[in-house]
Structure formats: structure tokens, C-alpha cells
């Protein structure tokens, strides 16, 4: 189980029209700094630890129209909703239990995503949770993608459990804990869709549809499920929170991606396209959710410490908003990021498997270097659409009919009889290396022994499986004869 931790950083929401105890809220905008604020209005801390008042705007009452109306160390507008913790878990069968992020406080909003296969296994909504949306794919291999929300209360349970209406073959889920969202009506908008009939081993793009937000600083959360156990590439401009599957690196099982990004202004979110690497399943599903900010937009707000989400440099004490997080550096390396789990707000090597920015193609980031890799030792060191050729180089995956020695070398995900093949070609009397038909699975010529062997019978030239009867001695393997319809 992985957990995304913001350490001791906490966010700020300006609660217009409400009275609350600021010392109890304690934004802790810089490590070791006292809570700011007082009778004159809300305060904050500067990057050098000094306190600033946010009440001294143009109107003298904390209201503002531009950043210049606010005191040093603050800006005009709403702070972004913050991500204070993430947890995840998976199970091959039975109930799914996900721990509550330990960083939560009363009033935080929890967003849950659960992907499960097949579609007969519907998640049962636990008490205290509200279902947001269910997206179902009904292709040959089916799945459901569920989303829920809950407002944290005093005495919040240490974990939450989902049961299912029927037996399943893989369920995976994650919780994102948000601070600064409207606890009364947190969900502003949502949408979803399914993609059926897709089998692209070199990487399957999965779109979450665009939706429209009406308020400033909404948090966009996108969710994706696929009938495989492959790694995801999050949508450009979004931070990966959950990337987990039920079986590890495999073309079976179920996989879930949850990503987030603050949206600074009202309007369309745009389509959010994630990519599941080395996908060999026929289905994928997606959802997109806009979480409403608790915000009065004409107030001066203290700048945020490194690690808090942001949409502009002016919102950060450091003056740098990088990968949607206030950051202590510019993170200029292609495989360097400020939104890495466990290191939010600090430039760190990007998660292994990320494509890099600018793109490291054909290689992927290795999780240790801040620059692009220049060699590979396995297929996971290569970007989707490439494989490691055994000589330390990532090369393009191959089309059906080209020679292969492993399924990762083929765009179809099938390597059979030494060729990239249109199917797994599993029948004993099937072959993908038939002269003139390399790459297309079909029955071997009559008289073939079969793989595995059909003894005492021989393949009949029309069926993919071993015969069970005979009419002639020629239908039987050497040493056998056809008697009464059986090779004996």
C-alpha cells in the first residue's frame, strides 16, 4: 500500500460569511511558524517566516480585486483545495478495505474510486458514503468504475470496507483526502464513459470527458479503470495519486488510476487523457469529477508553503508553482518533478515509468535519475510502444507477422510460434507460423501432430483443437490405426 503524504503542511480556505477559530484551524504555512491571524483579520506567513496581515487591502476589510491590494505574503483570490493524504488497496477476491488517510481532519472531503471486474460485481455503498457515479463497460471482459464521497467526522474510522453484489476477479480502490472543499455540497459536476473493443498492447489512450465548472479553484479528479494490471501515464498537467493493479505487471487483473489537478478559473476542464501501458484487455472506463471549493474570491489569502496545490506562482511562498504544487525549485530535469508521492513541494526524480518532460522517448524515467535514461535492462525501462531489445536499447514494438521472442515485443501482445500474432493462438492444431500466413493464427495442415501433441490422432486441417474421432488410418498418428472411429 502506498500513501501520498504532505507531511505537516495544511491548506487554507477563506470562509466568507462564517466565524471560526483561526488558531484551531492552524494552517501552518511554514514549518515551525506560529498560526497567523488575529482580531484584525486573517494572516499568513512569508517565505522567511515573518507574519503578514491580509486585512489591509484596498478596502481595509480584507477584500481585494488584484494581488496588489493585498499585503506582502498574500494574494487576491482563493487558495487551491489541498490534497492531504492518499491511500490505496487491492484484492483478487472478496471485500475491499481501504485505510483512511491518517492526515485527515474534521470537514475534509474523501473521494474514493473503485474499479472491479466483471460488471456483475457491483460495489455496495457503505453507510455514510454517497455514490457519485458508476460507469460500466459491457464488452467481452466487463468492469465497473465506482466513485464516492464522504465528509470526515469526529472519530472517523481507521478504514472503510466495500463489499460486492457478486463474486469478482479483481477489485482495486483508492482514497484521496481533500482539504478546503465545500463540505455541504462538495461535488460540482461529474461525467464518465467507457471504451469497448480496444486491444492495444503498446499503450491505450483513455479519455475522461470534459466538464464545466462554475466556481474558482475547483479540484478536478479523474479516474480510470482497465481490464489489465499495467501501469498508467497520468493525463498531462495532472498529478498521479493512485496507480495500482490487482496482479502487478500483467495483462490480466484490474487496474485503477486516480489523478488530480486544481482548476484556477471557472470553465471547461478539457478532456483528460490517460494512457494504460501494455494493455491487452478489451475494455477501459473513465470518470471525471469537479470538487467545489469553499471560497470567497475577493479576499486576500496567505501564500501557501511548498507542497500545497496551486494554479499560479503568486499563490506560493516560494513564488514557484510547479506541476500544480508550490515548489522549492524549478525542477528543470526531464525526469524531475515536484509532485512525486512522498516528496511534494521538492524537486525529486519522477516516478519510474513516467515519460519525462520533455519526453524521453523511447526511454522512460527510471525513478532515480532526474535526466532521461539512455539504456534499458527490461521492457519497463521503455516507454509504451517500445521494448528492450536485449542489447540495452528501446526499439519500436512489432506488428503481426514480424519475428518475436516475447509478447512485450508485439503490438498485439501475442507472440506465438516465433511471430507476433493476431491472437494467442492457443489451440493444439493452430499455428501462427504457417508459410505465407505468418502473424495470422489458423489451423495447421492436415496430418500435423499438434502442439501439444494430439497423439493418437493427427490434426484434421480445419479444427483448432485435436480430433477425437477418425475415419481413415491417415487420421491417426504413426503406430496407430483407425478402428471403429477411434485411433488405437
Q: Which of 384, 342, 96, 312 is nearest to 240 (CA)?
A: 342
Reported as a pLDDT band with limits 50, 70 and 90, residue 15 is very low
Taking residues 464-475, report their average pLDDT: 96
Cell of 442: 489458423
SS (H, E, C) 434-475: CCCCCCCCEECCCCCCCCCCCCCECCCCCCCCCCCCCCCHHH
- Residue 229 has a pLDDT of 75
pLDDT band at 55 (very low <50, low <70, confident <90, very high): very low
CA proximity to 176, closest of 270, 268, 81: 81
At residue 407 the predicted structure's pLDDT band, cuts being 50, 70 and 90, is confident
Is 399 exposed, middle or buried, given 0-12, 13-18 or 19+ CB atoms closer than 10 A? exposed
- Residue 222 confidence class, pLDDT cut points 50, 70, 90: very high
270-316: per-residue pLDDT in tens?
999 998 876 556 678 999 999 999 887 788 999 999 999 999 999 99
Q: What is the pLDDT of residues 316-362, one digit of tens each?
A: 999 999 999 999 999 999 999 999 988 999 999 999 888 899 999 99
Give the span between the Cα atoms of 58 and 64, in whole angstroms.
6
Take residue 32 and report the three cell numbers written for it.
515551525
Q: Which of 15-29, 43-57, 408-422 has the highest mean predicted lDDT (pLDDT)? A: 408-422
Question: Stretch 243-265: mean pLDDT, rounded?
Answer: 85
State the pLDDT at residue 44.
35
The per-residue pLDDT for 390 is 84
More confident residue, 425 or 1: 425
State the SS3 of 116-174: EECCCCCEECCCCCEEEEEEEECCCCCEEEEEEEEECCCCCCCEEEEEECCCCCEEEEE
Output the CA torsion 353→356→360→361 (10° steps). Answer: 60
Question: What does the mean pLDDT of the chain come to?
Answer: 85
**Of all helices (H) and strands (E), which one includes residue 25?**
helix 22-25
Judged against a pLDDT cut of 70, whether residue 421 lies above it is answered with yes
Count the Cβ atoms, other than its own, within 10 Å of residue 452.
8
Higher pLDDT, 230 or 346: 346
Contact indicator for 372, 365 with CB cutoff of 8 Å: yes
Answer whether residue 95 shows pLDDT above 50: yes
Residue in this structure with the C-alpha cell 522512460, named with its chain if needed: 364
pTM over 0.85: no
User: Based on C-alpha coordinates, what's the Rg of the chain?
Assistant: 28
**What confidence category does residue 61 fall into, taking pLDDT thresholds of 50, 70 and 90?**
low
For the stretch 16-32, pLDDT in tens is: 333 333 333 333 233 33
What are the structural domain ranges in the chain? 82-291
pLDDT at 177 over 50: yes
pLDDT, position 201: 57
∠ Cα 389 395 400 (to 5°)? 90
Amino acid at each position: 500500500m502506498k500513501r501520498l503524504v504532505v507531511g505537516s503542511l495544511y491548506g487554507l480556505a477563506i470562509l466568507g460569511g462564517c466565524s471560526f477559530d483561526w488558531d484551531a484551524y492552524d494552517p501552518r504555512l511554514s514549518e515551525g511558524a506560529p498560526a497567523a491571524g488575529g482580531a484584525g483579520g486573517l494572516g499568513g506567513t512569508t517565505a522567511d517566516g515573518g507574519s503578514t496581515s491580509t486585512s489591509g487591502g484596498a478596502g481595509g476589510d480584507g477584500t481585494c480585486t488584484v494581488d496588489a491590494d493585498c499585503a506582502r505574503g498574500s494574494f487576491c483570490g482563493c487558495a487551491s483545495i489541498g490534497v492531504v493524504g492518499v491511500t490505496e488497496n487491492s484484492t483478487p477476491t472478496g471485500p475491499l478495505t481501504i485505510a483512511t488517510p491518517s492526515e485527515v481532519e474534521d470537514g475534509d472531503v474523501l473521494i474514493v474510486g473503485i474499479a472491479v471486474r466483471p460488471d456483475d460485481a457491483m460495489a455496495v455503498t457503505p453507510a455514510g458514503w454517497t455514490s457519485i457515479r458508476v460507469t460500466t463497460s459491457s464488452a467481452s471482459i466487463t468492469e465497473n468504475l465506482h466513485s464516492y464521497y464522504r465528509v470526515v467526522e469526529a472519530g472517523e474510522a481507521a478504514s472503510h470496507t466495500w463489499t460486492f453484489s457478486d463474486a469478482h476477479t479483481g477489485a482495486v480502490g483508492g482514497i484521496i483526502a481533500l482539504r478546503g472543499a465545500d463540505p455541504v455540497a462538495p461535488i460540482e459536476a461529474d461525467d464518465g464513459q467507457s471504451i469497448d473493443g480496444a486491444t492495444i498492447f503498446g499503450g491505450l489512450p483513455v479519455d475522461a470527458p470534459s466538464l464545466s465548472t462554475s466556481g474558482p479553484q475547483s479540484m478536478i479528479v479523474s479516474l480510470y479503470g482497465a481490464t489489465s494490471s499495467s501501469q498508467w501515464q497520468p493525463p498531462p498537467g495532472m498529478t498521479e495519486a493512485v496507480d495500482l493493479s490487482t496482479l502487478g505487471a500483467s495483462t490480466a487483473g484490474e487496474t485503477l488510476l486516480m489523478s488530480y489537478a486544481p482548476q484556477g478559473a471557472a470553465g471547461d476542464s478539457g478532456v483528460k487523457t490517460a494512457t494504460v501501458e501494455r494493455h491487452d484487455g478489451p475494455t477501459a472506463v473513465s470518470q471525471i469529477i469537479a470538487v467545489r471549493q469553499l471560497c470567497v474570491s475577493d479576499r486576500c489569502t496567505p501564500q501557501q508553503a511548498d507542497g500545497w496545490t496551486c494554479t499560479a506562482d503568486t499563490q506560493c511562498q516560494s513564488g514557484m508553482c510547479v506541476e500544480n504544487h508550490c515548489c522549492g525549485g524549478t525542477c528543470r530535469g526531464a525526469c524531475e518533478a515536484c509532485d512525486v508521492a512522498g516528496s511534494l513541494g521538492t524537486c525529486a526524480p519522477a516516478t519510474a515509468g513516467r515519460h519525462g518532460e520533455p519526453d524521453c522517448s523511447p526511454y522512460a524515467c527510471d525513478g532515480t535519475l532526474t535526466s532521461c535514461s539512455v539504456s534499458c535492462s527490461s521492457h519497463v525501462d521503455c516507454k509504451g510502444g517500445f521494448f528492450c531489445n536485449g542489447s540495452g536499447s528501446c526499439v519500436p514494438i512489432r506488428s503481426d507477422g514480424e519475428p518475436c521472442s516475447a509478447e512485450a515485443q508485439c503490438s498485439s501482445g501475442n507472440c506465438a510460434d516465433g511471430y507476433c500474432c493476431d491472437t494467442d493462438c492457443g489451440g493444439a492444431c493452430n499455428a501462427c507460423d504457417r508459410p505465407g500466413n505468418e502473424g495470422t493464427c489458423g489451423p495447421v495442415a492436415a496430418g500435423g501432430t499438434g502442439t501439444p501433441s494430439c497423439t493418437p490422432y493427427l490434426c484434421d486441417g480445419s479444427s483448432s483443437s485435436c480430433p477425437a474421432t477418425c475415419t481413415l488410418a491417415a487420421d491417426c498418428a504413426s503406430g496407430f490405426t483407425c478402428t471403429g472411429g477411434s485411433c488405437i
